[in-house]
Structure 1
Amino acid sequence: MDSLIVEHGTDRTIVRLERPRTLNSIDQTMVDELHTVCAQLELEPRVLIVTGTRTERGGIFASGADISQLRDRRRHDALRGINSSIFARIAALPMPVIAAIDGYALGGGAELAYAADFRIATTRVKIGNPEPNLGIIAAAGGCWRLVELVGEPVAKEILLAGRVLSADEALAIRLVSEVCEPDELLDRANALADRISGFDPLAVQVTKQVIHAPRAAHPVIDNLAQALLFESPEKAQRMDDFIQKRDARKGR
Protein backbone atom coordinates (compact mmCIF):
# COMPACT_ATOMS: atom_id res chain seq x y z
CA MET A 1 0.00 0.00 0.00
CA ASP A 2 1.13 3.56 -0.65
CA SER A 3 -0.19 5.38 2.42
CA LEU A 4 -0.60 2.65 5.03
CA ILE A 5 1.62 0.07 6.71
CA VAL A 6 -0.58 -2.91 7.60
CA GLU A 7 0.34 -5.77 9.93
CA HIS A 8 -2.12 -8.67 10.25
CA GLY A 9 -1.93 -10.84 13.37
CA THR A 10 -4.08 -13.75 14.46
CA ASP A 11 -6.34 -11.60 16.63
CA ARG A 12 -5.57 -8.01 15.58
CA THR A 13 -4.58 -5.83 12.67
CA ILE A 14 -2.33 -2.80 13.15
CA VAL A 15 -2.62 -0.02 10.59
CA ARG A 16 -0.06 2.78 10.57
CA LEU A 17 -0.92 5.91 8.62
CA GLU A 18 2.19 6.62 6.60
CA ARG A 19 2.22 9.93 4.71
CA PRO A 20 4.81 11.78 6.82
CA ARG A 21 5.60 14.40 4.16
CA THR A 22 2.01 15.65 4.38
CA LEU A 23 1.72 15.05 8.14
CA ASN A 24 -0.51 12.05 7.41
CA SER A 25 -3.16 14.10 5.67
CA ILE A 26 -6.01 11.87 4.53
CA ASP A 27 -6.18 11.74 0.74
CA GLN A 28 -8.19 9.60 -1.67
CA THR A 29 -5.50 6.92 -1.78
CA MET A 30 -5.52 6.55 1.99
CA VAL A 31 -9.33 6.36 1.97
CA ASP A 32 -9.26 3.66 -0.71
CA GLU A 33 -6.65 1.67 1.19
CA LEU A 34 -8.61 1.93 4.43
CA HIS A 35 -11.62 0.52 2.56
CA THR A 36 -9.45 -2.43 1.54
CA VAL A 37 -8.46 -3.04 5.17
CA CYS A 38 -12.10 -2.82 6.27
CA ALA A 39 -13.16 -5.35 3.64
CA GLN A 40 -10.62 -7.81 5.08
CA LEU A 41 -11.73 -7.22 8.66
CA GLU A 42 -15.40 -7.61 7.76
CA LEU A 43 -14.60 -11.08 6.38
CA GLU A 44 -12.13 -12.03 9.12
CA PRO A 45 -12.99 -9.98 12.24
CA ARG A 46 -10.05 -8.84 14.33
CA VAL A 47 -9.36 -5.96 16.69
CA LEU A 48 -8.08 -3.00 14.70
CA ILE A 49 -5.39 -0.65 16.01
CA VAL A 50 -4.97 2.56 13.99
CA THR A 51 -1.94 4.70 14.69
CA GLY A 52 0.22 7.33 13.05
CA THR A 53 3.87 7.80 12.32
CA ARG A 54 6.82 9.76 13.61
CA THR A 55 8.39 12.69 11.85
CA GLU A 56 11.38 14.89 12.57
CA ARG A 57 9.00 17.13 14.51
CA GLY A 58 7.61 14.29 16.61
CA GLY A 59 4.59 12.04 16.35
CA ILE A 60 1.64 12.66 14.08
CA PHE A 61 -1.67 10.80 13.95
CA ALA A 62 -3.36 12.67 11.09
CA SER A 63 -3.38 16.39 10.36
CA GLY A 64 -6.73 16.28 8.59
CA ALA A 65 -7.98 15.85 5.05
CA ASP A 66 -5.54 16.59 2.24
CA ILE A 67 -6.25 20.28 1.56
CA SER A 68 -4.79 20.12 -1.93
CA GLN A 69 -7.53 17.63 -2.84
CA LEU A 70 -10.19 19.20 -0.64
CA ARG A 71 -9.71 22.57 -2.33
CA ASP A 72 -10.95 21.22 -5.64
CA ARG A 73 -13.91 19.22 -4.36
CA ARG A 74 -17.40 20.42 -5.19
CA ARG A 75 -20.99 19.67 -4.26
CA HIS A 76 -21.12 16.25 -5.90
CA ASP A 77 -17.94 15.24 -4.03
CA ALA A 78 -19.49 16.24 -0.70
CA LEU A 79 -22.60 14.21 -1.48
CA ARG A 80 -20.42 11.14 -2.11
CA GLY A 81 -19.31 11.27 1.54
CA ILE A 82 -15.73 10.34 0.72
CA ASN A 83 -14.39 10.57 4.28
CA SER A 84 -17.66 10.08 6.17
CA SER A 85 -18.27 6.73 4.45
CA ILE A 86 -14.89 5.27 5.40
CA PHE A 87 -15.15 6.51 8.99
CA ALA A 88 -18.66 5.02 9.24
CA ARG A 89 -17.30 1.73 7.91
CA ILE A 90 -14.49 1.75 10.47
CA ALA A 91 -16.94 2.49 13.29
CA ALA A 92 -19.14 -0.42 12.14
CA LEU A 93 -16.36 -3.02 12.02
CA PRO A 94 -17.34 -6.23 13.85
CA MET A 95 -14.56 -6.07 16.46
CA PRO A 96 -13.45 -3.04 18.49
CA VAL A 97 -11.25 -0.35 16.97
CA ILE A 98 -8.47 1.32 18.98
CA ALA A 99 -7.04 4.67 17.90
CA ALA A 100 -3.48 5.04 19.24
CA ILE A 101 -2.92 8.78 18.90
CA ASP A 102 0.37 10.65 19.00
CA GLY A 103 0.82 14.30 18.12
CA TYR A 104 -1.77 16.13 16.05
CA ALA A 105 -5.21 14.68 15.36
CA LEU A 106 -6.98 17.55 13.64
CA GLY A 107 -9.97 17.82 11.33
CA GLY A 108 -10.41 14.54 9.53
CA GLY A 109 -7.71 13.03 11.75
CA ALA A 110 -9.80 13.82 14.81
CA GLU A 111 -12.89 12.43 13.09
CA LEU A 112 -11.04 9.19 12.38
CA ALA A 113 -10.22 8.96 16.09
CA TYR A 114 -13.85 9.67 17.02
CA ALA A 115 -14.92 6.69 14.88
CA ALA A 116 -12.86 4.33 17.04
CA ASP A 117 -14.26 2.52 20.08
CA PHE A 118 -11.23 3.42 22.20
CA ARG A 119 -8.74 6.27 22.02
CA ILE A 120 -5.33 6.15 23.72
CA ALA A 121 -3.25 9.34 23.62
CA THR A 122 0.34 10.31 24.24
CA THR A 123 1.26 13.31 26.36
CA ARG A 124 1.88 15.41 23.23
CA VAL A 125 -1.53 14.91 21.62
CA LYS A 126 -3.47 17.89 20.25
CA ILE A 127 -6.97 17.09 19.03
CA GLY A 128 -9.57 19.40 17.53
CA ASN A 129 -11.66 20.44 14.55
CA PRO A 130 -10.64 23.71 12.87
CA GLU A 131 -12.78 23.12 9.75
CA PRO A 132 -14.77 26.40 9.93
CA ASN A 133 -11.48 28.26 9.58
CA LEU A 134 -11.28 26.69 6.11
CA GLY A 135 -14.86 27.50 5.23
CA ILE A 136 -16.23 23.98 5.79
CA ILE A 137 -17.68 21.86 8.59
CA ALA A 138 -16.56 18.66 10.30
CA ALA A 139 -18.77 16.64 7.97
CA ALA A 140 -17.16 13.22 8.44
CA GLY A 141 -18.83 12.56 11.78
CA GLY A 142 -17.36 15.31 13.93
CA CYS A 143 -20.56 17.33 14.23
CA TRP A 144 -22.45 14.43 15.81
CA ARG A 145 -19.97 11.84 17.05
CA LEU A 146 -18.17 14.44 19.16
CA VAL A 147 -21.45 15.51 20.77
CA GLU A 148 -22.16 11.88 21.66
CA LEU A 149 -18.67 11.41 23.07
CA VAL A 150 -18.19 14.56 25.19
CA GLY A 151 -21.54 16.36 25.29
CA GLU A 152 -22.81 19.43 23.50
CA PRO A 153 -21.10 22.23 25.52
CA VAL A 154 -17.55 20.93 25.01
CA ALA A 155 -18.29 19.85 21.44
CA LYS A 156 -19.39 23.40 20.64
CA GLU A 157 -16.16 24.80 22.06
CA ILE A 158 -14.23 22.52 19.69
CA LEU A 159 -16.46 22.74 16.63
CA LEU A 160 -17.57 26.38 16.81
CA ALA A 161 -14.76 28.13 18.66
CA GLY A 162 -11.74 26.15 17.51
CA ARG A 163 -10.66 24.81 20.89
CA VAL A 164 -7.83 22.30 20.55
CA LEU A 165 -7.58 19.83 23.42
CA SER A 166 -4.37 18.71 25.06
CA ALA A 167 -3.97 15.09 26.15
CA ASP A 168 -4.85 15.89 29.76
CA GLU A 169 -7.92 17.88 28.71
CA ALA A 170 -9.07 15.02 26.48
CA LEU A 171 -8.58 12.58 29.34
CA ALA A 172 -10.52 14.79 31.78
CA ILE A 173 -13.61 14.63 29.56
CA ARG A 174 -13.00 10.94 28.71
CA LEU A 175 -12.52 11.59 25.02
CA VAL A 176 -9.44 9.41 25.49
CA SER A 177 -9.30 6.51 27.93
CA GLU A 178 -5.66 6.89 28.95
CA VAL A 179 -2.55 9.00 28.40
CA CYS A 180 0.97 7.66 28.15
CA GLU A 181 4.44 8.58 26.97
CA PRO A 182 5.04 8.26 23.20
CA ASP A 183 7.31 5.23 23.54
CA GLU A 184 4.56 3.38 25.43
CA LEU A 185 1.74 4.03 22.97
CA LEU A 186 1.68 0.80 20.99
CA ASP A 187 2.32 -1.26 24.12
CA ARG A 188 -0.75 0.29 25.74
CA ALA A 189 -2.83 -0.28 22.61
CA ASN A 190 -1.70 -3.89 22.38
CA ALA A 191 -2.41 -4.44 26.08
CA LEU A 192 -5.97 -3.26 25.51
CA ALA A 193 -6.23 -5.51 22.46
CA ASP A 194 -4.95 -8.40 24.62
CA ARG A 195 -7.77 -7.85 27.12
CA ILE A 196 -10.38 -7.76 24.39
CA SER A 197 -8.94 -10.84 22.69
CA GLY A 198 -9.24 -12.77 25.93
CA PHE A 199 -13.03 -12.58 25.65
CA ASP A 200 -15.26 -14.67 23.41
CA PRO A 201 -14.99 -12.96 20.00
CA LEU A 202 -18.64 -13.63 19.18
CA ALA A 203 -19.79 -12.11 22.48
CA VAL A 204 -17.63 -9.03 21.81
CA GLN A 205 -19.04 -8.61 18.31
CA VAL A 206 -22.63 -8.99 19.49
CA THR A 207 -22.06 -6.59 22.39
CA LYS A 208 -20.72 -3.94 20.01
CA GLN A 209 -23.77 -4.31 17.77
CA VAL A 210 -26.16 -4.05 20.71
CA ILE A 211 -24.38 -0.95 22.05
CA HIS A 212 -24.87 0.80 18.71
CA ALA A 213 -28.46 -0.31 18.19
CA PRO A 214 -31.14 2.42 18.26
CA ARG A 215 -32.68 3.07 21.69
CA ALA A 216 -36.10 1.93 20.43
CA ALA A 217 -34.66 -1.52 19.61
CA HIS A 218 -34.04 -2.32 23.29
CA PRO A 219 -34.71 -4.62 25.08
CA VAL A 220 -35.84 -6.79 22.18
CA ILE A 221 -32.44 -6.78 20.49
CA ASP A 222 -30.72 -7.54 23.82
CA ASN A 223 -32.88 -10.62 24.33
CA LEU A 224 -32.33 -11.83 20.76
CA ALA A 225 -28.59 -11.34 21.06
CA GLN A 226 -28.49 -13.20 24.36
CA ALA A 227 -30.56 -16.02 22.85
CA LEU A 228 -27.96 -16.37 20.11
CA LEU A 229 -25.11 -16.52 22.61
CA PHE A 230 -26.91 -18.94 24.92
CA GLU A 231 -26.70 -21.51 22.10
CA SER A 232 -22.97 -20.96 21.56
CA PRO A 233 -20.59 -23.84 22.43
CA GLU A 234 -18.06 -21.19 23.51
CA LYS A 235 -20.50 -19.93 26.16
CA ALA A 236 -20.94 -23.43 27.60
CA GLN A 237 -17.18 -24.09 27.61
CA ARG A 238 -16.31 -20.77 29.24
CA MET A 239 -18.95 -21.19 31.94
CA ASP A 240 -17.81 -24.77 32.62
CA ASP A 241 -14.24 -23.48 32.99
CA PHE A 242 -15.43 -20.75 35.36
CA ILE A 243 -17.34 -23.21 37.55
CA GLN A 244 -14.40 -25.63 37.68
CA LYS A 245 -11.98 -22.88 38.71
CA ARG A 246 -14.43 -21.57 41.32
CA ASP A 247 -14.92 -25.05 42.77
CA ALA A 248 -11.18 -25.67 42.78
CA ARG A 249 -10.64 -22.47 44.79
CA LYS A 250 -13.32 -23.52 47.27
CA GLY A 251 -11.64 -26.90 47.59
CA ARG A 252 -8.43 -25.28 48.77
Structure 2
Amino acid sequence: MTDTIQYQQAGHVGRLLLNVPQRHNALGGAELHAIRDILSQIQGDSTVRVLVITGAGEKTFCAGASLVELNSGKISGELFQETTDQLAALPIPTIAAINGNVFGGGVELALSCDFRFGVEGSRLRVPAAAIGLCYPVGGIKRFVERLGVAAAKRLLLAADQLDSRAMLEMGFLDYLVARESLADEVGAFAEKLAQLAPLAVKSMKEVITAVASGSLESARADALVALCRDSADLQEGFAAQKEKRQPCFVGR
Protein backbone atom coordinates (compact mmCIF):
# COMPACT_ATOMS: atom_id res chain seq x y z
CA MET A 1 0.00 0.00 0.00
CA THR A 2 1.10 3.57 -0.68
CA ASP A 3 -0.30 6.97 0.32
CA THR A 4 -0.78 7.73 -3.36
CA ILE A 5 -3.30 4.89 -3.65
CA GLN A 6 -5.89 4.71 -0.91
CA TYR A 7 -8.57 2.09 -0.33
CA GLN A 8 -11.40 1.79 2.14
CA GLN A 9 -14.55 -0.26 2.44
CA ALA A 10 -17.91 0.84 3.81
CA GLY A 11 -20.50 -1.90 3.95
CA HIS A 12 -20.38 -3.79 0.67
CA VAL A 13 -18.80 -0.92 -1.30
CA GLY A 14 -15.05 -0.57 -1.79
CA ARG A 15 -13.59 2.79 -2.77
CA LEU A 16 -10.18 3.19 -4.40
CA LEU A 17 -8.69 6.69 -4.61
CA LEU A 18 -5.94 7.72 -7.03
CA ASN A 19 -4.21 10.25 -4.81
CA VAL A 20 -1.55 11.96 -6.93
CA PRO A 21 -3.29 15.23 -7.87
CA GLN A 22 0.00 17.11 -8.25
CA ARG A 23 0.75 15.02 -11.35
CA HIS A 24 -2.83 14.67 -12.56
CA ASN A 25 -3.14 11.23 -10.93
CA ALA A 26 -0.67 9.70 -13.37
CA LEU A 27 0.32 6.24 -12.18
CA GLY A 28 3.88 5.09 -11.63
CA GLY A 29 5.15 1.68 -10.61
CA ALA A 30 4.33 2.10 -6.92
CA GLU A 31 0.76 3.10 -7.72
CA LEU A 32 0.19 0.35 -10.29
CA HIS A 33 1.49 -2.36 -7.96
CA ALA A 34 -0.63 -0.97 -5.12
CA ILE A 35 -3.73 -1.05 -7.31
CA ARG A 36 -2.99 -4.62 -8.35
CA ASP A 37 -2.60 -5.66 -4.70
CA ILE A 38 -5.94 -4.06 -3.83
CA LEU A 39 -7.68 -5.74 -6.78
CA SER A 40 -6.27 -9.11 -5.69
CA GLN A 41 -7.56 -8.47 -2.18
CA ILE A 42 -11.02 -7.62 -3.51
CA GLN A 43 -11.04 -10.69 -5.75
CA GLY A 44 -10.93 -12.91 -2.68
CA ASP A 45 -13.27 -10.86 -0.47
CA SER A 46 -16.93 -11.81 -0.81
CA THR A 47 -17.98 -8.86 1.37
CA VAL A 48 -17.08 -6.39 -1.41
CA ARG A 49 -19.90 -6.28 -3.96
CA VAL A 50 -19.09 -3.02 -5.75
CA LEU A 51 -15.85 -1.10 -6.40
CA VAL A 52 -15.71 2.66 -7.02
CA ILE A 53 -12.56 4.24 -8.46
CA THR A 54 -12.04 7.99 -8.45
CA GLY A 55 -9.24 10.56 -8.48
CA ALA A 56 -8.14 13.13 -5.93
CA GLY A 57 -8.58 16.80 -6.73
CA GLU A 58 -10.91 18.43 -9.22
CA LYS A 59 -8.71 18.71 -12.31
CA THR A 60 -8.00 15.18 -13.53
CA PHE A 61 -9.36 11.70 -12.92
CA CYS A 62 -6.25 10.03 -14.32
CA ALA A 63 -3.59 10.90 -16.90
CA GLY A 64 -2.59 7.27 -17.44
CA ALA A 65 0.85 5.86 -16.80
CA SER A 66 3.62 8.18 -15.59
CA LEU A 67 5.48 9.39 -18.69
CA VAL A 68 8.57 10.07 -16.57
CA GLU A 69 8.72 6.43 -15.45
CA LEU A 70 7.82 5.11 -18.90
CA ASN A 71 10.56 7.16 -20.58
CA SER A 72 13.13 6.15 -17.99
CA GLY A 73 12.27 2.48 -18.36
CA LYS A 74 11.25 2.24 -14.71
CA ILE A 75 7.87 0.85 -15.76
CA SER A 76 6.54 -0.65 -18.98
CA GLY A 77 3.30 -0.23 -20.85
CA GLU A 78 2.67 -3.89 -20.13
CA LEU A 79 2.40 -3.20 -16.39
CA PHE A 80 -0.32 -0.62 -17.02
CA GLN A 81 -2.10 -3.04 -19.37
CA GLU A 82 -1.92 -5.84 -16.83
CA THR A 83 -3.50 -3.51 -14.27
CA THR A 84 -6.41 -2.52 -16.50
CA ASP A 85 -6.91 -6.16 -17.53
CA GLN A 86 -7.09 -7.16 -13.86
CA LEU A 87 -9.62 -4.42 -13.18
CA ALA A 88 -11.77 -5.43 -16.15
CA ALA A 89 -11.70 -9.07 -15.01
CA LEU A 90 -13.09 -8.35 -11.54
CA PRO A 91 -16.32 -10.34 -11.12
CA ILE A 92 -18.11 -7.53 -9.25
CA PRO A 93 -19.50 -4.32 -10.78
CA THR A 94 -17.01 -1.47 -10.99
CA ILE A 95 -17.71 2.26 -11.25
CA ALA A 96 -15.37 4.99 -12.50
CA ALA A 97 -16.26 8.27 -10.78
CA ILE A 98 -14.46 10.54 -13.24
CA ASN A 99 -13.95 13.67 -11.18
CA GLY A 100 -12.31 15.78 -13.90
CA ASN A 101 -10.42 15.50 -17.17
CA VAL A 102 -9.27 12.09 -18.36
CA PHE A 103 -6.27 11.55 -20.60
CA GLY A 104 -4.29 8.74 -22.22
CA GLY A 105 -4.29 5.51 -20.26
CA GLY A 106 -6.73 7.07 -17.81
CA VAL A 107 -9.36 6.67 -20.53
CA GLU A 108 -8.64 2.95 -20.69
CA LEU A 109 -8.69 2.70 -16.91
CA ALA A 110 -12.20 4.15 -16.97
CA LEU A 111 -13.22 1.90 -19.86
CA SER A 112 -12.12 -1.08 -17.77
CA CYS A 113 -14.94 -0.27 -15.36
CA ASP A 114 -18.54 -1.33 -15.93
CA PHE A 115 -20.06 2.11 -15.35
CA ARG A 116 -18.71 5.61 -15.83
CA PHE A 117 -19.92 8.83 -14.22
CA GLY A 118 -18.47 12.09 -15.49
CA VAL A 119 -18.73 15.74 -14.49
CA GLU A 120 -19.85 18.67 -16.59
CA GLY A 121 -17.02 20.74 -18.04
CA SER A 122 -14.48 17.89 -18.23
CA ARG A 123 -12.40 16.88 -21.25
CA LEU A 124 -11.06 13.63 -22.72
CA ARG A 125 -8.14 12.98 -25.04
CA VAL A 126 -5.88 10.05 -25.91
CA PRO A 127 -2.77 11.67 -27.49
CA ALA A 128 -1.00 8.47 -28.59
CA ALA A 129 -1.01 9.35 -32.31
CA ALA A 130 0.08 12.91 -31.53
CA ILE A 131 3.30 11.67 -29.92
CA GLY A 132 3.99 8.75 -32.27
CA LEU A 133 2.85 5.93 -29.99
CA CYS A 134 0.85 2.89 -31.10
CA TYR A 135 -1.50 2.20 -28.24
CA PRO A 136 -1.09 -1.34 -26.79
CA VAL A 137 -3.10 -4.02 -28.57
CA GLY A 138 -5.02 -5.04 -25.46
CA GLY A 139 -6.02 -1.43 -24.93
CA ILE A 140 -7.11 -0.98 -28.55
CA LYS A 141 -9.26 -4.09 -28.21
CA ARG A 142 -10.92 -2.62 -25.13
CA PHE A 143 -11.70 0.65 -26.93
CA VAL A 144 -13.31 -1.25 -29.81
CA GLU A 145 -15.29 -3.62 -27.55
CA ARG A 146 -16.58 -0.87 -25.28
CA LEU A 147 -17.12 1.99 -27.73
CA GLY A 148 -17.20 0.49 -31.24
CA VAL A 149 -14.89 0.86 -34.24
CA ALA A 150 -15.89 4.40 -35.25
CA ALA A 151 -15.41 5.82 -31.75
CA ALA A 152 -12.11 3.98 -31.31
CA LYS A 153 -10.84 5.55 -34.55
CA ARG A 154 -11.85 9.03 -33.41
CA LEU A 155 -10.07 8.66 -30.09
CA LEU A 156 -6.98 6.71 -31.16
CA LEU A 157 -6.32 7.57 -34.82
CA ALA A 158 -7.53 11.17 -34.86
CA ALA A 159 -6.65 11.95 -31.21
CA ASP A 160 -9.92 13.89 -30.97
CA GLN A 161 -10.58 15.88 -27.84
CA LEU A 162 -14.09 15.47 -26.45
CA ASP A 163 -16.00 17.65 -24.05
CA SER A 164 -18.27 16.14 -21.41
CA ARG A 165 -21.38 16.24 -23.60
CA ALA A 166 -19.57 14.49 -26.45
CA MET A 167 -18.33 11.83 -23.99
CA LEU A 168 -21.94 11.11 -23.07
CA GLU A 169 -23.13 11.06 -26.68
CA MET A 170 -20.32 8.70 -27.70
CA GLY A 171 -21.23 6.29 -24.91
CA PHE A 172 -18.00 6.71 -22.99
CA LEU A 173 -20.02 8.13 -20.10
CA ASP A 174 -23.11 6.42 -18.79
CA TYR A 175 -24.03 9.36 -16.58
CA LEU A 176 -23.10 13.06 -16.71
CA VAL A 177 -23.64 15.01 -13.48
CA ALA A 178 -22.80 18.35 -11.93
CA ARG A 179 -19.36 18.34 -10.33
CA GLU A 180 -20.76 19.00 -6.87
CA SER A 181 -23.18 16.07 -7.23
CA LEU A 182 -20.65 13.42 -8.26
CA ALA A 183 -19.99 11.86 -4.86
CA ASP A 184 -23.67 11.68 -3.94
CA GLU A 185 -24.78 10.31 -7.33
CA VAL A 186 -22.07 7.67 -7.43
CA GLY A 187 -22.62 6.76 -3.79
CA ALA A 188 -26.34 6.22 -4.31
CA PHE A 189 -25.74 4.15 -7.44
CA ALA A 190 -23.09 2.01 -5.74
CA GLU A 191 -25.37 1.35 -2.77
CA LYS A 192 -28.17 0.35 -5.13
CA LEU A 193 -25.88 -2.14 -6.89
CA ALA A 194 -24.67 -3.49 -3.56
CA GLN A 195 -28.22 -4.36 -2.55
CA LEU A 196 -28.86 -6.50 -5.63
CA ALA A 197 -28.35 -10.27 -5.67
CA PRO A 198 -24.54 -10.61 -5.96
CA LEU A 199 -24.60 -14.09 -7.50
CA ALA A 200 -26.96 -12.97 -10.27
CA VAL A 201 -25.00 -9.76 -10.86
CA LYS A 202 -21.67 -11.60 -11.11
CA SER A 203 -23.12 -14.28 -13.39
CA MET A 204 -24.67 -11.77 -15.78
CA LYS A 205 -21.50 -9.66 -15.84
CA GLU A 206 -19.50 -12.74 -16.84
CA VAL A 207 -21.94 -13.61 -19.61
CA ILE A 208 -22.13 -10.03 -20.92
CA THR A 209 -18.33 -9.77 -20.98
CA ALA A 210 -18.04 -13.07 -22.87
CA VAL A 211 -20.69 -12.04 -25.41
CA ALA A 212 -18.98 -8.68 -26.01
CA SER A 213 -15.60 -10.34 -26.62
CA GLY A 214 -17.05 -13.13 -28.75
CA SER A 215 -15.84 -15.79 -26.31
CA LEU A 216 -19.14 -17.04 -24.89
CA GLU A 217 -19.20 -20.74 -24.05
CA SER A 218 -22.76 -22.02 -23.95
CA ALA A 219 -22.02 -24.66 -21.31
CA ARG A 220 -20.51 -22.08 -18.96
CA ALA A 221 -23.39 -19.66 -19.51
CA ASP A 222 -25.95 -22.42 -18.88
CA ALA A 223 -24.12 -23.38 -15.68
CA LEU A 224 -24.30 -19.79 -14.41
CA VAL A 225 -28.01 -19.60 -15.15
CA ALA A 226 -28.56 -22.88 -13.29
CA LEU A 227 -26.44 -21.70 -10.37
CA CYS A 228 -28.67 -18.66 -9.90
CA ARG A 229 -31.86 -20.67 -10.46
CA ASP A 230 -30.93 -23.04 -7.65
CA SER A 231 -29.60 -20.37 -5.28
CA ALA A 232 -30.80 -19.31 -1.86
CA ASP A 233 -30.75 -15.75 -3.17
CA LEU A 234 -33.49 -16.50 -5.71
CA GLN A 235 -35.67 -17.99 -2.99
CA GLU A 236 -35.01 -14.93 -0.85
CA GLY A 237 -35.94 -12.67 -3.76
CA PHE A 238 -39.25 -14.47 -4.27
CA ALA A 239 -39.97 -14.41 -0.54
CA ALA A 240 -39.19 -10.68 -0.27
CA GLN A 241 -41.53 -9.88 -3.14
CA LYS A 242 -44.31 -11.95 -1.58
CA GLU A 243 -43.79 -10.33 1.83
CA LYS A 244 -43.35 -6.83 0.34
CA ARG A 245 -39.98 -6.19 1.98
CA GLN A 246 -36.40 -5.56 0.94
CA PRO A 247 -34.50 -8.79 0.18
CA CYS A 248 -31.38 -9.69 2.12
CA PHE A 249 -29.08 -11.46 -0.33
CA VAL A 250 -26.09 -13.51 0.81
CA GLY A 251 -24.49 -14.42 -2.51
CA ARG A 252 -25.21 -18.12 -2.66
TM-score by length of 2: 0.88
- Which of these residues, 47, 52, 62, is aligned with residue 49 of structure 1? 52
Aligned twin of 1:250: none
User: 1:233 is matched with which residue?
Assistant: 232
Contact 1:111 1:141 in 2 (8 A): no
Q: What 5-or-longer segments of structure 2 have no aligned partner?
A: 246-252
Matched residue, 1:189: 186
Query: 1:180-200 CA deviation, whole Å, 9 max, x = no partner?
Result: 111111111111111211211
**Superposition deviation, residue 77 in structure 1:** 3.9
1:94 to 91, 106, 110: 91
- Write out per-residue CA displacement over residues 76-118 of structure 1, whole angstroms, 9 at most, x where no aligned residue: 945xx20111101011112111000022211111110010000
Contact 1:108 1:140 in 2 (8 A): no
Aligned partners of 1:182 and 1:141: how far apart in 2?
Answer: 31
Q: RMSD of the TM alignment (CA)?
A: 2.0
* 1:15 and 2:16 matched: yes
| Alignment-derived partner of residue 202 in structure 2 | 205
What is the match of residue 249 of structure 1? none
> What do residues 126-163 of structure 1 show as CA deviations (whole Å, max 9, x unaligned)?
12211122222222743121222222112111101110
User: Is residue 64 of structure 1 aligned with residue 57 of structure 2?
Assistant: no
Distance 1:13 1:31 in 2: 17
Match of 2:37 in 1: 36
- Flag structure 1 segments of 5+ consecutive residues without an equivalent: 247-252
Q: Distance in 2 between matches of 1:3 and 1:115?
A: 20
Q: CA deviation at 1:218?
A: 4.8
Whole-angstrom distance in 1 between the partners of 2:164 and 2:52: 19
Task: Using the TM superposition, give the Cα deviation of residue 38 of structure 1 relative to its aligned residue in structure 2, in angstroms.
Answer: 0.3
State how 1:211-226 maps to structure 2 within 5 Å. Answer: 211-213=208-210, 215=214, 217-226=216-225
Aligned residues, how many? 240
Larger Rg over CA atoms:
1
1:241 maps to a residue whose letter is A
- Distance in 2, matches of 1:65 and 1:134, equals 15
